[in-house]
Structure 1
């Protein structure tokens, strides 16, 4: 089954990254901070998925 949570986060990250690159946003903007948060959420999700029950 597809991991929709991961796909949704990755999609949002790609959209934000494209916006940041297009507009040349600085690192302390809300969009860039959200990208950092999404990276953290993806890492946590991946760790949870790889952990055996």
Structure 2
């Protein structure tokens, strides 16, 4: 069965990362901070799954 939560997190991260790259946003922007939060959520979810 597909892990929809994991897919949603990865999808949001990819979308935000593409936006940041396109606009050339700095590290202290809300978008980049959200990417860091998503990375932590992904790490925690993968650790819990394993």
Fold agreement, TM-score > 0.5? yes
Partner residue of 1:12?
12
For structure 1, which runs of at least 5 residues remain unmatched after alignment?
A: none
What is the root-mean-square deviation of aligned Cα atoms in Å? 0.3
For each residue in 1:1-53, what CA deviation from the matched residue of structure 2 results, as whole angstroms up to 9, or x when unmatched? Answer: 00000000000000000000000000000000000000000000000001xxx
Aligned counterparts of 2:4 and 2:36: Cα–Cα separation in 1: 20
Unaligned runs of 5+ in 2: none
Tell me which stretches of 4 or more aligned residues in structure 1 moved more than 6 Å: none
How many residue pairs get aligned? The number is 50
TM-score by length of 2: 0.99
